Amino acid sequence: MFEDLPSFVFFTGKGGVGKTSLACAAAVHLADQGRKVLLVSTDPASNVGQVFSAEIGSRMTAIPGVPGLDAIEINPEEAASDYRERIVGPMRDTLPDKALRSIEEQLSGACTTEIAAFDEFTGLLTDQERIEAYDHVLFDTAPTGHTIRLLQLPGAWSGFLEEGKGDASCLGPLSGLEKQRERYAAAVERLSDGDITRLVLVARPRRSALDEAARASRELAAIGIRNQELAINGLMPEDPEGDGDPLARALAQRDRAALAHMDEDIASLPRVTFPLRSENLMGVDALRRLAEGAPDTEGASDLEGTPAPDPGTPGDGSVLPGLETLVEEVEAPGKGLLMFMGKGGVGKTTMAAAFAVQLAERGHDVLLTTTDPAAHLSETLGGEVPGLTVSRIDPAEETERYRARVLRTRGKDLDEQGRAMLEEDLRSPCTEEIAVFQAFSKVIRESRRRFVVMDTAPTGHTLLLLDATGSYHREILRHSAPRQEGRVTTPMMRLQDPEQTKIFIVTLPETTPVLEAAHLQDDLKRAGIEPWGWIINASLAATGTRHPLLRKRAESELEQIARVREDLAPRLAVVPMQAEEPVGRGELLELGRPQAPSAV
């Protein structure tokens, strides 16, 4: 499976690429070779216990049927909650409620969760007595380069929150780590040691996932973690007959084209490839088949020769609603702000473009404001669309402009150590969200007279940070010169009003992306913002594919589609998997067509 694995192995990659499946299979494979193995899960979407049909939790647990394999699940949300209390608890009797609420919000973001999780598993990395009992320790997730750079910063972290330096910051969460400084230094050093540690970058053979893997590779290599391997998971097999299902054939071609054009930073890495499988990777036997490269024993072959379904229903006779159903509900006022949110790679830009084109086709005046590179969007639209204007925002330019302004104002009186902390703070994911949203905010006022469609949006956590004082401008401009004054306005009332703003959450019909989207929805609700609708993109269940492997995978989508429809989404649209990115007005319009009824 993976050759010559060292003592410590970290699996990293965006949600839904199969990190946990590969980590579990690798752990079983090593244990079958007589090694003593510990599998550690710090993934909030972890289903390790489900994979092994065992109750695991926060204690070392022997895995049934796999002698030599133990597992432990560290819940990062619980770790973050405990971590927050460790920081805030001592302040409860000394700070006013308003200040405490501000600090708690600064500690509610993704950076806090990642740092808290890292705090937990570095305890394992540096607990010599515990790890000496194992030949291998496998982690099903890994820290980002941003978090590790934070941990490497010189100077004191304590006092960062109390002194009001946090703003929309990722440095605030570090205030609880002062006592663990030596442990963190040892953990980061161990991560960088290629003799005992390897980082496995897991990616689907898709352009967006490979781009994300390349970014992670560069970021980690820049801080000395170069002991990397690339794992391509879910490569669509080529049809040996050459005349099979057209969607399957096109997907196989797309996967190989993505691999042929991937960034040289990861193309040069050692690589292992795992083909797309029809079976659900649950249970030790399925994991062993994956590790050994054995064929599936269930699923695809059972469908050989059976009639191909038509696209359209989730198996219970009800029709999967298309994008057009949401467009029809939205268009009545003839104006408004439409914001598309979701993790990277789920298709936000394509969905926003399709929505904008469909509104323009119905005679509305539409402004599509996007962070997508101009050339790519022009290609997607296939030329000008009557009634549709495009406003493009370059995230890199906006972020650099924002950073420069902050360093020029807030950074001018800082010493070398303070400036280093501020510079790292400005590399945080929150910084780009704030910078881009500032640029977006300039066009939001247009939604009073026409439709404004935004292809990305800040998270609820970032919005709460921006609005913590009840003033968008005051919070956004806290880094700016004090003389900048003017009429104070906040986007929160507009974003919280579904008559003015409609939030769409875009996801994929897979376990991890749906779980991440549900977390995003909770995040928004915490900010008083109720998502208006969900879009499940790239659904095989909505295609009517005849290919046995794809049909089996389509069946596996049904549970997630049902969960979104019944428990999460006030409104839902399901968009079929496309063999290639939709290009041109006609294809974007076609995405919105309602699906014909059938059963998978």
Where would I find the H helices in 44-164? 48-52, 76-88, 97-106, 110-125, 128-131, 145-152
43, burial (CB in 10 Å: exposed 0-12, middle 13-18, buried 19+) = buried
Query: Out of 13, 14, 15, 16, which one is annotated catalytic?
Result: 16
- Whether 43 is catalytic is yes
Query: Out of 14, 15, 21, 460, which one is annotated catalytic?
Result: 21
Query: Out of 14, 19, 348, 502, which one is annotated catalytic?
Result: 19
Structure tokens belonging to residue 29 = 């494979």
- Whether 413 is catalytic is no
Specify whether the CB–CB gap between 368 and 352 falls below 8 A: yes
- Whether 14 is catalytic is no
Is residue 420 left, alpha or beta, with left meaning phi > 0 and alpha meaning psi from -120 to 50? alpha
The C-alpha torsion from 565 through 569 and 573 to 575, rounded to 10°, is: -80
Sign of CA dihedral 452, 454, 455, 460: negative
- Rg for the chain (alpha carbons), in Å? 25
Query: Out of 12, 15, 20, 61, which one is annotated catalytic?
Result: 20
Partners of 534 in the β-ladder: 505, 572
- Whether 57 is catalytic is no
Query: Out of 12, 14, 15, 43, which one is annotated catalytic?
Result: 43
Query: Out of 18, 234, 460, 533, which one is annotated catalytic?
Result: 18
Angle between helices 97-106 and 76-88 (to 10 degrees): 150
Hunting for tokens 């406003």 — which residue is that? 391
Residue 48: CA count within 13 A, CB half-sphere: 36
Query: Out of 147, 370, 512, 543, which one is annotated catalytic?
Result: 512
- Whether 16 is catalytic is yes
d(CA 552, CA 81): 39
- Whether 19 is catalytic is yes
Hunting for tokens 């040892």 — which residue is that? 186
d(CA 347, CA 281): 25
* Integer angstrom CA distances of residue 114 from 107, 142, 258, 527: 11, 9, 30, 21
- Whether 512 is catalytic is yes
Catalytic residue annotation: 16, 18-21, 43, 512
